């Protein structure tokens, strides 16, 4: 008796993958973007992990691997939220030129973190339009 087994080469894909695009450099050396993780304390925040440290944006401020940054430029546009299960999501743009104990950090990032659902994305889009329209 012979048995035939079939294997599928289809991989299971996250229907709402995180997206990290843009550039980030420390003292002129490019950093590889590894992951982004939204969370919340008083406010929703995001941590972007790189190959050499982590950038955190919380309460309108940036820090690098736990050290506060002083920014000559910090443009941002973002939205996020918290779910009933305790998880968070964050979408936004950060464009900055900052210094801190680790050195000079410059970046322009577009982030979509926390596996944003279509309903959450629609809510973020609605809030963005209301903000743009001055409502």
Q: Spell out, as residue ranges, where the chain has pLDDT lower than 70.
A: 1-15, 135
E strands in 17-69 = 19-26, 29-30, 33-40, 44-50, 54-58, 61-64, 67-68
* pTM greater than the 0.85 cutoff: no
Residue 91 within a domain: yes
Residue ranges making up the domain that contains 94: 19-132
Residue 130 confidence (pLDDT): 81
Residue 131 confidence (pLDDT): 74
Residue 13 within a domain: no
Pairing mode of beta strands 103-113, 19-26: antiparallel
Residue 95 within a domain: yes
Residue 7 within a domain: no
CA distance 107 to 96: 5
Report how many domains make up the chain: 1
């Amino acid at each position: 008796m012979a048995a035939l087994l079939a294997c599928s080469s289809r991989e299971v894909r996250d229907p709402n993958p995180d997206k990290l695009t843009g550039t980030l450099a420390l003292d002129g050396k490019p950093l590889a973007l590894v992951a982004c993780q939204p969370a919340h304390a008083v406010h929703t925040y995001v941590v972007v992990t790189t190959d050499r440290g982590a950038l955190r944006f919380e309460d309108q401020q940036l820090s690098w691997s736990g050290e506060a940054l002083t920014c000559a430029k910090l443009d941002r546009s973002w939205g996020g939220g918290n779910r009933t299960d305790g998880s968070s999501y964050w979408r936004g743009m950060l464009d900055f030129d900052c210094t801190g104990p680790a050195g000079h950090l410059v970046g322009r990032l577009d982030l979509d973190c926390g596996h944003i659902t279509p309903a959450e994305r629609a809510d973020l889009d609605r809030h963005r339009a209301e903000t743009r329209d001055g409502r």
